[in-house]
Amino acid sequence: MYLLIDVGNTHSVFSTTEDGKVFKRWRLSTGIFQTEDELFSHLYPLLGDAMRKIEGIGVASVVPTQNIVIERFSRKYFSMDPIWVKAKDGCVRWNVKNPGEIGADRVANVVGFVKEYESSGIIIDMGTATTVDLVVEGSYEGGAILPGLFMMVHSLFRGTAKLPLVEVKPADFVVGKDTEENIQLGVVNGTVYALEGIVKRIKGMYGELPVVLTGGQSKIVREILRHEIFDEDLTIKGVFHFCFGK
């Protein structure tokens, strides 16, 4: 049994698997565990006896302050060091200026895509930030970063005197008729238009490629964003393949 952890800026996903095919997963707010004991107190009721079967821990983290918590948790309760996801040559080549700057979640997504699907494709991950990544014949060629949907909505709310905090959902109209509809159209549908434009330009240069959609906020746009594959476990699958080579 393996424990796989994806530490994001807003939420962290904890998953267990025996074979890398069937995953059990739980989502916790990243900020609720500040010590190894707090993390254990949240996980034990969820994992139960499965915690005794853990033989390896793999982690993709984009929150450095949480890394020491994960490390102490792994050593105290499992007597092992976690394996950290980071960009290094292996099943993927990293054709960018500074591979060390690539977020561990994006590294995991690329590894997961190459292992689970094809050697070439486009990955859209919608979380706190929205990212686009391109891999061509096993080589990571770069990507783009956009603000996440909730980040944009909260930014408008905090940065203005009168704009309200609205529900984040797709708009089925061309122009909004009130402030809420205007924000929903601009944030959600505007993000979709931006992503479709980025994907179109990539395909114009590299040819037709499969598009995989993943991430905690991807379900919001799943029905209106063109993509071939929806895989909410892509990051966790990548952590498994990267850390345990299976």
For the question of residue 125 being annotated catalytic, the response is no
CA atoms within 13 Å, Cβ hemisphere of 98: 4
Question: Of 105, 125, 231, 233, which residue is the catalytic one?
Answer: 105
| Angle ∠(235,240,243) on CA atoms, nearest 5 | 115
**Separation between Cα atoms, residue 36 and residue 127, nearest integer Å:** 25
Q: How big is the CA angle at 35 (ends 31 and 39), to the nearest 5 degrees? A: 70
DSSP string, 118-171: -SSEEEEEESSEEEEEEEETTEEEEEEEEE-HHHHHHHHHHHSSSPPP------
Where in the sequence numbering do the catalytic residues fall? 105
